[in-house]
Amino acid sequence: MPKYVLTGATGGIGSRVFKHLLDLVPASEIVVSLYNPAGATPAITSSGVEVRRGDFSDSASLEAAYAGAEKLLIVSYPSIAYEVRVKAHKAAIDAAKVAGIKHIYYTSLAFASDSKAAVMQAHLDTEAYLKESGLTYTIIREGIYNESWQLYFGWWDPKEGSDEVVIPYTDGSIAWACRDDLGEGTAKIIVAESGYDNRQVLLSGSQSTTLSELATTLSELLSRKLTLKIVTLPEFIAHNTPKTPIELIESWSTTWTAIGRGELAVKDPLLKELLGREPVTVEETLNNLFSGKEDGVNALSYLA
Ligand SMILES: NC(=O)c1ccc[n+]([C@@H]2O[C@H](COP(=O)([O-])OP(=O)(O)OC[C@H]3O[C@@H](n4cnc5c(N)ncnc54)[C@H](OP(=O)(O)O)[C@@H]3O)[C@@H](O)[C@H]2O)c1
């Protein structure tokens, strides 16, 4: 009988959880639930785990995909559209109940419980729904990915030539963490037999870095003098239109409102404890990225 079902195992964080889970438990205990089983990665197909089809918009597929397992990891649906996202997560939680899952782990985000960030609202509503589900839950608020730095730089793209990084409202600190460390920490939480029941935890880096500090790091790495320019919302909108839809600009601008409140600056020792070492810093990830040691990640794709 499988014990663990993972969603999102082909994706940015889910693939890392999968990789680290395989180091901790036998493949025979793992099922991966994929929206598109034909897109299973070589890491999945070569591992010997069972692959099932589970589409967040098809409840019957989710019930079949989760059947027989004890623990389910729901990786949040990769969209920032509030309703689509909450609907997907609720469908997965409802299906887990029908399928007899005992414990759900949900990848939430590191913003605050009273967050002003639009992107956090679907996570907060999912968290509330999960807490009321009657199942054992663990909400894992995943730190802001080092790899998603461009989003917090107001979609600044090094290839576009401008040395001005334009953001609205304010600068602030972020306790960044890399996806591989978050994947490892998440896998270790999932296999733990106790300690995380009906809890919400935060996985963050051990250090926090402001956007202006990051601009300094990038200036050195790119041998260009970057300037962080803080503007009003109308100026931010004008700067990003017509390339980006105005609704998206307005919605994403609330991220800096949240950053200004210190929502992302919170450092929690849990990730370091789980890893047994210091988490990789955002400076290290950027260094690897721009020295070619790490594959480029198109952070902007997250806002599709
Ligand atoms: N913490 C942060 O800083 C941060 C930054 C950016 C994004 N995020 C959020 O974190 C989450 C995970 O990010 P990620 O980078 O791992 O995303 P990702 O690489 O886009 O992967 C998401 C997974 O969702 C699966 N999926 C897509 N449609 C589905 C459907 N209808 N039903 C079931 N599964 C479906 C995908 O396909 P398959 O099931 O076919 O494999 C994929 O494996 C997303 O919600 C993302 O928005 C967090």
Atom 27, ligand 1: which residue's CA is nearest? Answer: 35
CA–centroid distance, residue 138 to ligand 1 (Å): 18
CATH architecture label of 4-146+176-203: 3-Layer(aba) Sandwich (3.40)
pLDDT in tens, 108-127: 999 999 999 999 999 999 99
In the chain, where are the structural domains located?
4-146+176-203, 150-172+207-266+282-303
Contact 102, 135 (CB under 8 A): yes
Dihedral sign, CA of 52, 56, 60, 66? positive
Q: Cβ of 142: how many Cβ atoms within 10 Å?
A: 25
Q: What is the pLDDT of residue 294?
A: 64
Specify the ligand 1 atom closest to the Cα of 36: 40
Q: Would you list the DSSP string of the chain?
A: ---EEEESTTSTTHHHHHHHHHHHS-GGGEEEEES-GGG--HHHHTTT-EEEE--TT-HHHHHHHHTT-SEEEEEPPS---HHHHHHHHHHHHHHHHHHT--EEEEEEESS-TT---HHHHHHHHHHHHHHTSSSEEEEEEEPPBGGGHHHHTTT--GGG---EEEEES---EE--B-HHHHHHHHHHHHH-SSS-TTEEEEE--SS-EEHHHHHHHHHHHHTS--EEEEE-HHHHHHHHTTTS-HHHHHHHHHHHHHHHTTTT----THHHHHHTSPPPPHHHHHHHHHTTSS----GGGGG-
> Which residues share a beta bridge with 108?
141
Atom of ligand 1 nearest to the CA of 40: 41
> Does pLDDT of 170 surpass 80?
yes
Quick one: fold of 150-172+207-266+282-303? UDP-galactose 4-epimerase; domain 1 (3.90.25)
pLDDT score of 299 more than 60:
no
Centre of ligand 1 from the C-alpha of residue 79, in Å: 8
Nearest Cα neighbor of 248 from 304, 165, 298 is: 304
* Ligand 1, CB cutoff 6 Å, lining residues: 7-8, 10-14, 34-36, 39, 54-57, 75-78, 107, 109, 142, 144-145, 148, 302
Percent of the chain having pLDDT more than 90?
Answer: 91
- pLDDT band, residue 296 (cuts 50/70/90): low
Whether the Cβ atoms of residue 302 and residue 79 lie closer than 8 Å to each other: no
pLDDT tens digits, 49-78: 999 999 999 999 999 999 999 999 999 999
Residues 6+ apart with CB under 8 A from 237: 246, 249, 250, 253
Residue 36 CA to ligand 1 center (angstroms) comes to 12
Q: How many CB atoms lie within 10 A of CB 57?
A: 12
Q: pLDDT digit string (tens) for 215-263?
A: 999 999 999 999 999 999 999 999 999 999 999 999 999 999 999 999 9
pLDDT at 295: 61
Atom of ligand 1 nearest to the CA of 55: 32
Model confidence pLDDT, tens digit, residues 4-17: 999 999 999 999 99
For a substitution probing ligand 1, which of 5, 75, 90, 297 has the most ligand atoms within 8 Å of its CB? Answer: 75
Q: Whose CA is nearest to atom 6 of ligand 1?
A: 302
Confidence category of residue 161, pLDDT binned at 50, 70, 90: confident
**Ligand 1: nearest atom to the Cα of 79:** 47
